[in-house]
Amino acid sequence: MQADRRRINAPAGGTAPPTFTFADHPDLLRRPTRTRKPDEHRKIFLRTGIVPSASGSAYYEVPPAKPAPSTGSLVPTSSSLKITCTVHGPRPLPRNAAFSPNLLLSTHVKFAPFATRQRRGYVRDASERDLGVHLETALRGVIIGDRWPKSGCEVVITVLEGEEDGWFGEGREKGGGWGMMSVLAECITVASAALVDAGIDCVDLVSGGTAALVKGEGGEGEAVVLDPAPAEHEVTAACVVAYLQSRDEITEMWMKGDAGDSTEGLMDQAVRAAVMSRTVLVEAVKEGLKVGGDVQPVNGAPKGGEGKGKDVDMTG
Amino acid sequence: MQRVKNIDYDEDDVYSEEEEYHEEPSYTDEDRESFTALTPVVRAELQESGLQASDKEIEEALWHYYWHVGKSVAYLKNSRTPRPQQPQQGKKDKEKPKSKFDQAAEESAKKAGCMIPFPSTASDWFQGISWSVIPLGIQGELVPAFAAYPRPQLLGGSSKLAKLAEERRKKAAASQAAPAAPSGALGSLDRLSKSKDVKENVLPPTMPEPRKYPIRQKREPTPPPKEPSPEPEEATEDLPDLRASPTEFAKTMATHAAPSQVAEAAETHMDSIFRSSSNEDPFKGPSPDDTVMRAQWHSKGINKHARKPSDGLLIKKTEALKLEPKIKSKGLDVPKLWAEGRASRKSAAAFVVIGHVDHGKSTLMGRLLLDTGAVAQRDIDKYAALLIPHTFVSMLINARRYQKQATELNKSSFALAWVMDTGSEERERGITVDIAQHPFSTLTTDFTVLDAPGHRDFVPNMLAGASMADLAVLVVDANQLESGMKGQTREHILLAKACGLERVVVAVNKLDATTPTAWDENTFQSVRSGVQKLLTSVGFQDPNISFVPCSGLSGTNVVNPAPSTGPTAWVASTSGTILQQLESSPPTSPPEELVKAPLRLQITDVFRGSITNPISVSGRLAAGNVQIGDTVLTQPSGEKAIVKGIEISAEPREWAVAGELVTLHLSDIDPVHLRAGDVLCSVDKPVAIVRNFVAQVTAMEALLPQGVDVHVGRLHVPGSVAALISTVDANGEVVRKKPRVVKGGDTANVKVSLQEGAPLAVGDRIILRSGGSTIAAGQVDRTGS
């Protein structure tokens, strides 16, 4: 890995204030617990068309849990994901590029330097490039590439706030890269929304979902949870899928860890998570289509029963 | 831009589709019989299910289903039940001009014995067909392959398509309230979706659910899941609402929100950050600047000044100011003044320095100016100091020039030349490019030096210099006579003669560098004889030629006479110094008629004199006189200008007369109308613009009717020798009419036509050049065609 010589880099280290152990603050060093049910997904905020200069864009957010546990510390106990995605294209390939009968898709996933507790560099590191490859695989399966010969399309994702890899109290070595799994799932969803916003033809809306096999309460037994927050669990295996609900297809699957017998169940739960995130995706896309018409309330209550199990007319 | 040619179609190429296809189905008599028989039956069936239909609809349905009562009834039911506007829409489809695609589809549908609303699902397709004969074993479940797919549409992010999509989106939003009829192009596609709705309503239970997870359900080896994998349909039923409200950060990105909402969002955001509860508009009241301005307005001092202009007096004043004060002519009688002051005035003369390149013209002139005190030694030292960084120049010179001499001397030699060579290019290349003029005066005479370039590429500039001069100083390098005789020494002599110069002082230069010994008299004598032969052959008279041995670099015998001892002992007996020779040549005083003649001045240079004198021209007054305030006309532009000031030798004057080298400061004219080579003339008697003229020229090379450059002093115009009229001998007698060629040395009358008009008068000296060499020189004989 080459060093970043073009900038004066900040010292490697944390972006959050340091935490010190105090006897009178036992809560501080207690692992946060999952308050949701195992098959409950976190709430999502998704909006398209946030970057006017891009062909398409979307913003994805998982707000922190409403009743923030008051530990008296400045350190947030749980992360809140924030991802922006911009799509540039389809646009003509550079003059010197070879002929391509299909749309050339390129994906960039980059964490902002302050996105995670451990500071990120300005140059994409291996894990970010890896996420980019996964994302490309997921999107390649939905885009109807042969409608755009000799064109290119760039999907640029910036993770403004990333999922934690594990509970910070365990030390940074313990983090097994589980946060990446959730981030990938959300990258897929947000990229799908941005692609629709850009008006790129897709066979379906692709949505990402994660499920994890975690150790049960007290370290006994194992349970499958949807949409895991790695800080809350001791994860043994996790699975990400990019799922097309209308076609019942999976364009991308990434399994990590040893799930043993419950591999199938893990996958099913991941698909289920994808189906759940798709509901938000559909609503966001519909909302984006209504630009110019009556304005949707910013944080209007979602209309019950609308868009469930219905196909979306992709007139992005 | 229209990319397609506007093709003119023939009338019969453009056929109207409506004419051909927009026809009601014509029924035969047989058909009508069947209609009368079957229509009541269908109506009865329909009324059973509580539906109404017009005769026409029933007939249509029957006709399309080949009088199959059951199918017709089913169709009409379908068209009634789901959407009340359905039949109406179908009718509209009919009325629309059908595309060829639709036509073909209909044809094939008829052939297949099928009905009009296209069956897109298997159950529709096989409706009414008995399945009883098919053995159970081979009965299959038919799953619609593309039932769930969204209709593919050609859309994209490219700007045009995106715009289209945007428009369509808007249209869709507008038509949401009142759904309009589908657009024509998508008629057949719309029909597909229609039939889907029909299916849902008529036969809901017979349609098997499309099975999901087909592959995974086949595989059984893995331990069965505790609960059956949830059906997606069910899953979507109980999917929780996952939409969250945006955080403060996300609200800042709310671009979709209405402006008020954005403001609200931003406000709440700012509130939450700064915890400021004041909702006051900070821009409500007057700004601090406004307050100050208002306070100042009440003060008396400002009002005093500010109120005054309102009475309209100022407008008049400014209008009066707009007119530039005109330069008033003093109305001097210039010829009289000139005649009166003739005795007291010093005589004036301008001389041009000519010679081959690198024979030391500029250096000799620099020496002349330095020794006469026109240029201070300080300036020369400055130039010498400037030269030091230009070591590459001196290296170049080393190779080219005095190889024996020290580098230091080379530098100083250039320092002298730089007095005249002021352009950066001239200094860098070490040669003169344009003519330079510099005044100096002795006790008896005011001189103007015109330094001409020696290089053959700049002969036009040399011509400009020669046309302004009274006499010529020919500089010949004593060591390089041969190169000069072949090159520009010879050409310059010819041109000087052609320009009308009579007197020439030959400065035999660089005698301090002769081989084998310096100041070798034999070298001088051989040069003298050679040059004299050339000069006389050209036509210079012997008394008008004088030879001066000198050294421009050391300054020997230029202004200061050579030492009478040593190697230069012979010099003093030969002739005086160059300055003495120049002074002894009688400066020609212009005749009085010339002074009284109408003004003629050929512009040598147009430049910006200073801020007060934005446009200045310089040149030699060929005829007439001029004084401050005179209005002059420039030709060929034909614009008038007012003479604002006159300078001669950098000294302001009230007036100037013919023969003087003047700088005129002009006003009331745009600089675009002034070019070097134009002629300033009096308004009363302007010089004519000529395109064709006859000239008597002496050919230097064979002259044919050909394209030539016509040089008149500074001016040069492309033109051609249109015709050779006659050759004449020395006495002006016609030798031969219409010769085919004029040989070199012969004199001939030729007709010259110019590509563009030039200000020319009879008697102007012209030089014809072609391909970089002079081919003929002479005088204008008569103008006009």
- What's the pLDDT tens digit per position in B653-699? 888 888 888 888 888 888 888 888 888 888 888 888 888 889 888 88
- For chain B, give the mean pLDDT: 71
Whole-angstrom distance, CA of residue B60 vs CA of residue B66: 10
pLDDT of B146 higher than 70: no
Distance, CA of B486 to CA of B470 (rounded, Å) = 25
Q: Tell me, what's the pLDDT at B394?
A: 39
Task: State the DSSP code for A119.
Answer: P
Query: A173 to chain B nearest CA, in Å?
Result: 31
Tell me the β-bridge partners of B308. none
Q: Is B444 or A188 the better-scoring residue by pLDDT? A: A188
Q: What backbone torsions phi and psi does residue B318 show, to the nearest 5 degrees?
A: -65, -35
Backbone angles phi, psi at A296, to 5 degrees: -75, 145
Q: Are A200 and B242 in contact (CB < 8 Å)? A: no
The pLDDT score that the predictor gives to residue B549 is 85
Say whether B225 and A265 touch across the interface (CB within 8 A). Answer: yes
Identify the closest residue of chain B to A194 by CA–CA distance: B157
Share of chain A above pLDDT 90, in %: 44
Which residue has tokens 């400061």? B665
Residues in chain A with CB shorter than 8 Å from the CB of B244 are 42-45, 61-63
Question: How many CB atoms within 10 Å of residue B449?
Answer: 28
Confidence of residue A184 (pLDDT cuts 50, 70, 90): very high
Q: For chain B, what's the residue count? A: 785
pLDDT tens-digit map of B248-293: 888 877 654 444 444 444 444 445 545 444 556 777 778 888 888 8
Tens-place pLDDT, residues A222-260: 889 999 888 888 888 999 999 999 999 999 999 999 888
CB burial of residue B206 (10 Å; 0-12, 13-18, 19+): exposed
Answer whether residue B206 shows pLDDT above 50. no
Structure confidence at residue A14 (pLDDT): 75
Give B243 to chain A, closest Cα distance, Å. Answer: 5
User: Which candidate from B162, B239, B265 shows the least CB-CB separation from A308?
Assistant: B239
- The 8-class DSSP code of residue B94 comes to H
**How far apart (Å, rounded) are the C-alpha atoms in residues B172 and B116?**
27
Least confident of A109-123, A191-205, B413-427: B413-427
Helix axes B300-307, B288-298, angle to 10 degrees: 80
- For residue B458, what is the DSSP state? G
The residue type found at B586 is: P
Q: How many CB pairs under 8 A join A and B?
A: 162
Q: Out of A50, A87, A148, name the one closest to residue B255 (CB).
A: A50
CB–CB of B256 and A55 under 8 A? no
Which residue among B170, B236, B255 sits closest to A52, beta carbon to beta carbon?
Answer: B255
pLDDT at B220: 43
What residue in A sits closest to B237 (Cα-Cα)? A308
Residue B54 has pLDDT above 50, yes or no: yes
| Better pLDDT: A28 or B184 | A28
**The pLDDT value given to residue B415:** 62
Contact A49 B243 (CB under 8 A): no
H/E/C letters for each residue in B570-614?
Answer: HHHHHCCCHHHHHHHCCCCCCCHHHHHCCCEEEEEEEECCCCCCC
% residues pLDDT > 70 (chain A)? 79
Strand order across the A235-244 sheet: A222-226, A206-215, A235-244, A249-257
Least confident of A131-135, A290-294, B493-497, B749-753: A290-294
Which H or E run contains B622?
strand B615-623
Name the one residue in this structure whose structure tokens are 């229509």: B39
**Residue B602's pLDDT is what?**
87
- ipTM comes to 0.74
Amino acid at site B184: G
Please give the residue that has the higher pLDDT: either B740 or B157. B740
B170 pLDDT more than 90: no
The string of pLDDT tens digits covering residues B357-415 is 777 777 887 788 788 777 777 776 666 655 543 333 333 343 334 333 334 444 455 66
Backbone angles phi, psi at B310, to 5 degrees: -70, -15
CB contact under 8 Å between B165 and A316, yes or no, is yes
Angle in degrees, CA A249, A251, A252, rounded to 5: 130
Q: Is B756 helix (H, G, I), strand (E, B) or coil?
A: strand
Shortest CA distance to B353 belongs to which of B474, B248, B242, B503? B474
User: Which residues of chain B neighbour A64 with C-beta distances below 8 Å?
Assistant: 247
| Nearest CA among B707, B741, B747 for reference residue B728 | B747
Q: Which are the contacts of B12, defined by CB distance < 8 A and separation ≥ 6?
A: none
pLDDT attached to residue A118? 81
Burial (0-12, 13-18, 19+ Cβ within 10 Å), B164 = middle
For position A67, what pLDDT does the model report? 55
| Confidence bin at B184 (pLDDT 50/70/90) | very low
Give dist(CA A90, CA A56) in Å, integer. Answer: 10
**Residue A63 to residue B246, Cβ atoms within 8 A:** yes
Q: How many angstroms separate the Cα of A111 from the Cα of each of A194, B22, B340?
A: 18, 63, 97
- Measured between beta carbons, the chain A residues lying within 8 angstroms of B162 are 55, 199
B225 contacts in chain A (CB < 8 Å): 264-265, 268
Instruction: Please tell me which residue, B66 or B732, carries the higher pLDDT value.
Output: B66
The string of pLDDT tens digits covering residues B359-370 is 777 788 778 878
| Residue B472 φ/ψ, nearest 5 degrees | -120, 145
